[in-house]
Amino acid sequence: MPIERDIIGPPNVRGVCPMGVFDHPDFDQHDSLHYIQDSDSGLKAIIAIHSTALGPAAGGCRYWQYASDDDALTDALRLSRGMSYKNAVADLPFGGGKAVILASDDVPRSPELFRAFGRAVASLDGRYITAEDVGCSVDDMRYVREETEFVSGLPQSGNDAGGELSGEQQSILENAEISVVAVGGDGIVRQRAPQVH
């Protein structure tokens, strides 16, 4: 069965992307790449889905002011690939994905911006599950949640997404420790990397 390759939108979110997406050094057989622009809220974002081989792509949403569009693309591609491996090593039923919202001094951070991002996530019909990441707050994710059910990591009450570890979270930590041991101090990998494609 062929992997769906779906690039939506222009390859330049702001300005000109100096290279083609498929020639980008960090493009690694990603399932799909989505460029989102909402003129009403000012949202400009990229959602990169690296793999859905193990389940829907899961990974946080980063709100960051990038020096260039290519830097934002690079971040989304690298981070989504990293999430594929993190979820596979932790033996979770998720693939890897990541979203980056291109912050700008010209566009104020607003509930409308995050609601627009929520609509973009909803349009992917469950292929990507987002969460809080660098630059995003629990409140931001609550605005996203108003538009889509595909948000994880929100607290049951209050503003703290932390608390006691669930069994799944404990498994992630244990697998991360095993992975660190597998690499070892000399940098030699003693365990085969998980297959994500």
Per-residue pLDDT tens, the chain, 197 aa: give them. Answer: 222 334 444 344 343 344 577 677 777 788 889 999 999 999 999 999 999 999 999 999 999 999 999 999 999 999 999 999 999 999 999 999 999 999 999 999 999 999 999 999 999 999 999 999 999 999 999 999 999 999 998 887 665 554 444 455 555 545 554 454 444 455 555 444 555 55
What ranges in the chain are assigned the alpha helix state H?
A: 69-89, 111-122, 138-145, 167-183
98 a catalytic residue = yes
Q: What count of Cα atoms within 13 Å lies in the side-chain half-sphere of residue 90?
A: 21
| Residue range 6-183, CATH number | 3.40.50.10860
Q: Where are the domains of the chain?
A: 6-183
Q: Which of 62, 98, 127, 145 is catalytic?
A: 98
